[in-house]
Amino acid sequence: DQLADKYGLEKLDFGALNIEQQQQLRQFKIITRINNEKYLREHPEVEALISDLIRDVFLKRPTDIQEYAADYFTDPNLCLIIGSKLEGDPADTGTD
């Protein structure tokens, strides 16, 4: 597997977990996904943050995305920017 080789991962060992462990893992994944979905529904600002960042990245095409994202998330006005997007501020056209 090229992906495993590229990232130094071992190949999957499907026999590593017994049936009970596989069921527990499956249940854990389901519960985790449900909890994540609940959290995202309770916090629409997460989607607004991610959508805004991705939009900006595609518009501005920075060469250093990590640095750009760090600047984005440390912007002292970020709270106001996202708040206006959540409120549907007509003055917020999505362009800077």
Give the per-residue pLDDT at 7: 64
19 and 48 in a single domain? The answer is: no
- Confidence at residue 93, expressed as pLDDT on a 0 to 100 scale: 46
In a shared domain, residues 29 and 48: no
pLDDT of 77 over the 70 cut: yes
Quick one: pLDDT band at residue 74, thresholds 50, 70, 90?
A: very high
Print the domain residue range for 3: 1-42
Instruction: Answer yes or no: do 75 and 55 share one domain.
Output: yes
Q: Sign of dihedral through CA atoms 34, 35, 36, 40?
A: positive
Q: Do residue 51 and residue 4 come from a single domain?
A: no
Residues 51 and 81 in one domain: yes
- On whether both 5 and 23 belong to a single domain, the answer is yes
Band (8; pLDDT cuts 50, 70, 90): low
Which structure tokens are listed for 6? Answer: 């590229």
Q: Are residues 79 and 95 in the same domain?
A: yes
> What are φ and ψ of residue 15, in 5° steps?
-90, 5
- 96 & 58 share domain: yes
Mean pLDDT of 2-29: 78
The pLDDT tens digits of the residues spanning 29-69 come to 999 999 999 999 999 999 999 999 999 999 999 999 999 99
**First-to-last CA distance in the chain?**
44
Q: Please tell me the predicted confidence (pLDDT) of residue 91.
A: 47
Regarding whether 16 and 2 lie in a shared domain, the answer is yes
The domain total for the chain is 2
For residues 22 and 12, membership in a common domain is answered with yes
Q: What's the Cα-to-Cα distance from 18 to each of 9, 11, 45, 77, rounded to whole Å?
A: 21, 18, 40, 51
